[in-house]
Amino acid sequence: MNTAVDLFLSPFAYSFMQRGMVASVIVGVLCAVVGCYVVLRGMAFLGDALAHAILPGVAVAYLFQSDLLLGALAAAILAALLIGLFSRREQVREDTAIGIVFAAALALGVALMSTIKSYSIDLTHVLFGNVLGVGERDLWLIGGLGALVLTTIVLLYKEFLIASFDPVLGATLRLPIGFLRNLMLIMLALTVVISLQTVGVGLVAAMLVTPAATASLLTRRLPSMMIVAAAIGALSALSGLYLSFYVNVASGAAVVLITTLFFMAAYLFAPGKGLAWQLTQKKRDSKRVAASEEETAG
């Protein structure tokens, strides 16, 4: 009994572990909630692109020895607005615009990073996160920005809902659809930046997409989808950190693998939408058809 409690509590003996846990849970929840819109609006590729677009911002901040998160933030917002700008003139398809900005930013980031001496270590941290290096100041920033994003999403719930579900209705109601779209991109950029330290740019797309996609299999309304996604995100973040503590694997990867397990489980067994459910339903249907055919034959 005692050992089981110890198993849960012993990681908390270290303050860096405590901060890592709190940061991971915040990021898990935030990514999941914002991820609901990412999944519903088909912006998964955009989320991934934004994450990589952060890299040059981080590199520039590093070179000038200013705050890495601020550099990342500036780069992400710039990239989000650039993609919006490119795709607005319908000359270039949005996914093409994203592909161009994405690759260019990544190349620029790597080029800038390679001028730095301790290049490979820092690049690894940016790409895959460094959850145990979350300082007290970082935690405040993560908490503050996270609260800002979540509050915005709750307050503008119905505006974001219309802009995502039916922009034509939004336009007839005179909602500023373009503004809401850009605001959503900025929310996404903030979320990606906050996730930088816990899961890194390489894996943030998974945190955005996987819990939300899992929740979409289990729910039928947006509010419940967000709540279920947030729970999955938080649970995965916690259990991923435990896993990395005891098995000694990279924490970001562990978190993402656990969300993937959740998704697989929902994909197979979700009531109504799961594979197993649909297969048994098909079997039941064909039995019913066979029975009624027998009846008419007899």
Partner 1 sequence: MLPVLQIRNLSLSYNGNTALTSVDVVIPSRAMVSVVGPNGAGKSTLFKVLAGLLNPNAGEVLVGGEPLRHRLERVAYVPQRQEIDWRFPVTLMDVVLMGRYGRLGWLRRPGRTDRAVARHWLAQLGLDHLVDRQIGELSGGQQQRVFLARALAQEPDILLLDEPFAGVDVPTQEAVLSLLANLGDQNITVLVSTHDLPMATSRFAYLMLLNRRLIAFGPPAEVLTPSALSATFGEKMLIYPGEEGFMAMVDHCCPCPVGAEAISPARTRGSR
Rule CB under 8 A: which residues touch partner 1? 40, 155-156, 158-159, 161-162, 164-166, 168-169, 171-175, 216, 219-222, 224-225, 272-273
Q: How far is the CB of 181 from partner 1 (least distance, A)?
A: 16
Closest listed residue to residue 37, CA positions, set 146, 170, 200, 161: 161
Q: How far is the CB of 174 from partner 1 (least distance, A)?
A: 6
Q: How far is the CB of 277 from partner 1 (least distance, A)?
A: 11
- Going from the C-alpha of 281 to that of each of 188, 269, 271, the distances in angstroms are 38, 12, 11
Structure token digits, residue 19: 């901060």
Q: Residues of 265-294 as b/e, b for ≥16 C-beta within 10 angstroms? A: ebeeebeeebeeeeeeeeeeeeeeeeeeee
Taking the least distance from each CB to partner 1, the nearer of 155 and 265 is 155
Taking the least distance from each CB to partner 1, the nearer of 48 and 159 is 159
Report the distance separating Cα 247 and Cα 243, nearest Å: 6
Q: How far is the CB of 159 from partner 1 (least distance, A)?
A: 7
DSSP-assigned letter for residue 298: -
Tokens 């935030």 appear where? 30
DSSP E strands: which ranges in the chain?
Answer: none
How many C-beta atoms surround the C-beta of residue 16 within 10 A? Answer: 12
Taking the least distance from each CB to partner 1, the nearer of 143 and 167 is 167
Taking the least distance from each CB to partner 1, the nearer of 76 and 213 is 213
* Maximum C-alpha span of the chain: 86
Taking the least distance from each CB to partner 1, the nearer of 15 and 172 is 172
Q: How far is the CB of 282 from partner 1 (least distance, A)?
A: 12
Tokens 């993402």 appear where? 256
CB 105 within 8 A of CB 53: yes
Q: How far is the CB of 286 from partner 1 (least distance, A)?
A: 17
Taking the least distance from each CB to partner 1, the nearer of 96 and 151 is 151
Report the distance separating Cα 127 and Cα 198, nearest Å: 10
Q: Within 114-135, where are the H helices?
A: 119-128
Taking the least distance from each CB to partner 1, the nearer of 40 and 257 is 40
* Helix (H) / strand (E) containing 91: none
Q: How far is the CB of 210 from partner 1 (least distance, A)?
A: 17
